[in-house]
Amino acid sequence: MIPLVITLSLASRSYPIYVGQHLLTKHNILLPYLSSKQIMIVTQENIASLYLPILKAALADYPCDVMYLPNGEQYKNIEQWQGILEKLIEQRHERNTTLIALGGGIVGDMTGFAAACYLRGVNFIQIPTTLIAQVDAAIGGKTAINHASGKNMIGAFYQPRCVIADIDFLQTLSAREYRAGLAEVVKYGLIQDADFFQWLEANMALLLSKDESALLYAVHKSASIKANFVSQDEKEQGLRSLLNLGHTFGHALEVANHYEGILHGEAVAVGIIMASFLSMQLGWISSSDHQRIQALFDKIGCMKNLPALPLPSDFIRFMQHDKKVEAGKVHFILLKGIGQAIKTSVVTDQQLKQTIEWAADLMVNV
Ligand code: GLY
């Protein structure tokens, strides 16, 4: 099968997103995006044991340095990021080097931020191996590391030369990581495409079984929606912020748990359900739409065994540290219907408290 290609349009910085199978083996698509023979692959041990040999075979004539990052969002920090830079300096990487991120969102975000800063910016390629990275994190040039006070607090917009999303990599992804990634897929239906949401309702069982054609459709559709948003608003001046549905709540949850015990996609799933409940409270979506959203997340099953929610006062404090605070006001992405998102700050403390209390009860009973 020929890879599907989506173009993320940013004038001279436009780049392709390849979606397909056997992309590094049958289709030799990587080589045109290298800028010299110097390469550093950044990955993690568990991913390397599965996919590094395939990548190295695709780069047979290229001597590659490999840098390993530890697993876990709690390591997406300044020390690990500095470790990438130290290795680049130690191995005398030059301006025309290429950094290849082979892994999930943590690897991609940290590699991208290292590429943005090393020698004021070097070539960078994303090879996402998780669902969440294939549909979201690897696309659009948001690169960052976390700070104890907030997620992705330190970073840069820095676009890759290409994104290679091979759905074969998803076959080895753990059930937990896979289900967490589906939360971001659902997000695209909710913010932009009611037909896609309906397709997800009808095809979730197939997707959960990692059916190849369902996966190809879902990854391609999600990546296309993401690329379209970023092409119109790279630096998140307006439209792109709609991609943050569920993230104001979700990031607060991740920070409250010190980035442990809850995956990003799981936090986003809880955040989306909360945004849906809040939208219903405001009279913007019907209770039947809210129930459809909740039912889809129940089917995905990505909200089980998560840490308890913080108390409303703590939850609100964590939200106030988020990047989405503007002029001291917390902004939310809420729904005006399935397929229609809106950015707002017209939420009272009482509505927020009710939403947090509702979600705390929900989490105990899922
Ligand atoms: N993950 C949201 C964005 O890339 O804008």
Q: What is the pLDDT of residues 90-122, one digit of tens each?
A: 999 999 999 999 999 999 999 999 999 999 999
pLDDT at 51 over 90: yes
Nearest atom within ligand 1 for CA of residue 184: 1
Rounded percentage of the chain residues whose pLDDT exceeds 70:
99
Supply the residue whose CA is at minimum distance from atom 2 of ligand 1.
Answer: 243
What pTM was estimated for this model as a whole? 0.95
Q: Measured from the CB, is residue 240 less than 6 Å from ligand 1?
A: yes
The label of the residue with tokens 């009611």 reads 194
**Spacing, Cα 341 to ligand 1 middle (Å):** 14
Nearest atom within ligand 1 for CA of residue 241: 5
Rounded percentage of the chain residues whose pLDDT exceeds 90:
85
Nearest atom within ligand 1 for CA of residue 240: 5
**Spacing, Cα 243 to ligand 1 middle (Å):** 6
Do 90 and 147 lie in a common domain? yes
Which residues form the domain of 212?
175-365
pLDDT, tens digit, 9 for 90 and up, residues 265-315: 999 999 999 999 999 999 999 999 999 999 999 999 999 889 889 999 999
Q: Measured from the CB, is residue 42 less than 6 Å from ligand 1?
A: no
**Spacing, Cα 62 to ligand 1 middle (Å):** 32
Q: What is the residue type of 177?
A: E
- The set of residues, in sequence order, having a beta carbon less than 8 Å from that of 175 and lying 6+ positions away, is none
DSSP per-residue string spanning 257-272? TTT-SS-HHHHHHHHH
pLDDT recorded at residue 83: 98
The label of the residue with tokens 């980035």 reads 259
pLDDT band, residue 365 (cuts 50/70/90): confident
| Residue 182 CB-density burial (10 A; 0-12 exposed, 13-18 middle, 19+ buried) | buried
pLDDT recorded at residue 86: 98
pLDDT at 14 over 70: yes
Do 49 and 167 lie in a common domain? yes
Q: What is the distance of C-alpha 182 from the center of its chain?
A: 11
Contacts of 236-243 with C-beta under 8 Å, sequence gap 24+, read 240/140, 241/324, 241/331, 241/333, 241/343, 242/191, 242/192, 242/333, 242/341, 242/342, 242/343, 243/136, 243/187, 243/191
Helix 194-208 to helix 212-232 angle (10° resolution) is 140
Do 197 and 168 lie in a common domain? no
Do 189 and 136 lie in a common domain? no
Count structural domains, the chain.
Answer: 2
Do 266 and 228 lie in a common domain? yes
Q: Measured from the CB, is residue 324 less than 6 Å from ligand 1?
A: no
pLDDT band, residue 324 (cuts 50/70/90): low
pLDDT recorded at residue 337: 97
pLDDT, tens digit, 9 for 90 and up, residues 185-194: 999 999 999 9
